[in-house]
Homo-oligomer: A and B are copies of this chain.
């Protein structure tokens, strides 16, 4: 396993100018989105760049839930700028876009599909050296500052896919909990659900020593290796923090302790799933986001319909864990207990049911939309949702329980209504 460097503390963003000086950076690309460009996290970075006299160009055109087109726009900017370092200030959308910009600007003759995950793209290994990238996360969810993954919406195929390579992992993640104080309520909730599912999925993923095929040469092993004794530590620790702090972080923007802990939990869960992988909640979430109709979530200031990533992931979680618990029931029961279930008299064979009920209650208490139906899907959409899940084999194959198309249909159907 591998972990990026991270630096944690209130106010540590102000050191970023020095970090760039230490890296010898002379032309920095600062990436963010239009909303953030006016907010304190970007201001803190701009102040530090000014203080240390760092020459930079700002790109604030990142799309929330990026697409191939929005990636390509950022890549064009990066190629033209001939930058020697990158700074990404934002949530997963910004950090992922910046990873892609750095990658393709460092490999200018590559086709876009070269590095996109197979079977959609060619999934080529990255062998070119990239420029340093410092990620400053402003949400508490993606963990993108710790992973080698960049996810986007492939418009033509109406499906989410991504690029996965250790080579695109940020050089440094600056985790400054001050940045989370400006997050609106639903963004805290949805990004927190992403942490919750990263932890639950990586803890229940197929164990690393049961994965097949296992490439004989270590260099060909995937970034997502299956659950293992190291990722387990991170997953459980992140889950405990979610159980303790997510509700508080959502309800009270002034609760520094809760928001700081969720910010760290996001990185912890990222280190866990960045090595172990995720499985069905994530695999099924990509078509849920990709096929969005007219849903516009509260608190997201965007001009297009979107299902926030964390929401698209968590809505299937009760059905998914009821389905997977057959394989590692004790881990499912342990997760339910951490999330507050009383398991003293529980039977191990009910582990899936108990975790599902615990999740439903957790989501209900947090006013989460009542299932896929509430965000605009109906039974008639299930075949398309299943079709959109099939190319996500990179993650779905890490489900501890193999699944047929019928199984996927049933999981989507069971997720139409939660309460």
Decide if B1 touches A5 in the complex (CB within 8 Å).
yes
Considering the complex, give the chain B residue whose CB is closest to the CB of A271. Answer: B3
Known: A2-B3, A3-B2, A6-B1. A22 touches B229 (CB 8 A): no
Partner of A230 from the list B8, B15, B216, B218 (CB cut-off 8 Å) is: B8
Decide if B18 touches A218 in the complex (CB within 8 Å).
yes
Does A114 make an interface contact (CB < 8 A)?
no
In the assembled complex, which residues on chain B have CB atoms less than 8 Å from the CB atom of A116?
none
Known: A18-B217, A233-B233. A5 touches B2 (CB 8 A): yes
Which residues of chain A from 228 to 287 have any CB-CB distance to chain B below 8 Å in the complex?
228-230, 233-234, 237, 264, 268
Decide if B218 touches A19 in the complex (CB within 8 Å).
yes
In the assembled complex, which residues on chain B have CB atoms less than 8 Å from the CB atom of A1?
3, 5-6
Measured in the bound complex, the distance between the Cα atoms of B264 and A229 in whole Å is 8
In the assembled complex, which residues on chain B have CB atoms less than 8 Å from the CB atom of A2?
3, 5
Considering the complex, give the chain B residue whose CB is closest to the CB of A238. Answer: B233
In the assembled complex, which residues on chain B have CB atoms less than 8 Å from the CB atom of A8?
228-230
Does A209 make an interface contact (CB < 8 A)?
yes
Decide if A233 touches B268 in the complex (CB within 8 Å).
yes
Does A219 make an interface contact (CB < 8 A)?
yes
In the assembled complex, which residues on chain B have CB atoms less than 8 Å from the CB atom of A219?
18, 22
In the assembled complex, which residues on chain B have CB atoms less than 8 Å from the CB atom of A237?
233
0/1 interface trace, chain A 1-39, chain B, CB 8 Å (1 if under): 111011111000001001100100000000000000000
Which residues of chain A from 190 to 234 have any CB-CB distance to chain B below 8 Å in the complex?
208-209, 216-219, 228-230, 233-234
In the assembled complex, which residues on chain B have CB atoms less than 8 Å from the CB atom of A9?
208-209
Decide if B6 touches A230 in the complex (CB within 8 Å).
yes
Considering the complex, give the chain B residue whose CB is closest to the CB of A260. Answer: B229
Whole-angstrom distance from the CB of A67 to the nearest CB of chain B?
A: 33
Considering the complex, give the chain B residue whose CB is closest to the CB of A267. Answer: B230
Considering the complex, give the chain B residue whose CB is closest to the CB of A264. Answer: B229
0/1 interface trace, chain A 175-200, chain B, CB 8 Å (1 if under): 00000000000000000000000000
In the assembled complex, which residues on chain B have CB atoms less than 8 Å from the CB atom of A22?
217-219
In the assembled complex, which residues on chain B have CB atoms less than 8 Å from the CB atom of A218?
7, 15, 18-19, 22
In the assembled complex, which residues on chain B have CB atoms less than 8 Å from the CB atom of A209?
9
Measured in the bound complex, the distance between the Cα atoms of B8 and A417 in whole Å is 42
Considering the complex, give the chain B residue whose CB is closest to the CB of A15. Answer: B218
Measured in the bound complex, the distance between the Cα atoms of B208 and A199 in whole Å is 26
Considering the complex, give the chain B residue whose CB is closest to the CB of A10. Answer: B209
In the assembled complex, which residues on chain B have CB atoms less than 8 Å from the CB atom of A216?
15, 18
Which residues of chain A from 265 to 311 have any CB-CB distance to chain B below 8 Å in the complex?
268
**Which 8 residue pairs spanning A and B have beta carbons closest together?**
A3-B3, A22-B219, A2-B5, A18-B217, A233-B237, A15-B218, A229-B264, A19-B218
Binding site for B on A (CB under 8 A): 1-3, 5-9, 15, 18-19, 22, 208-209, 216-219, 228-230, 233-234, 237, 264, 268
8 A-B residue pairs with Cβ-Cβ distance under 8 Å, sorted by A, are A1-B3, A1-B5, A3-B3, A15-B216, A22-B217, A22-B219, A230-B264, A233-B233
Q: List 16 extra interface pairs beyond A18-B219, A230-B268, A233-B268, CB under 8 A.
A: A1-B3, A1-B5, A1-B6, A3-B3, A8-B229, A8-B230, A9-B209, A15-B216, A15-B217, A18-B216, A18-B218, A19-B218, A22-B218, A22-B219, A230-B264, A233-B237
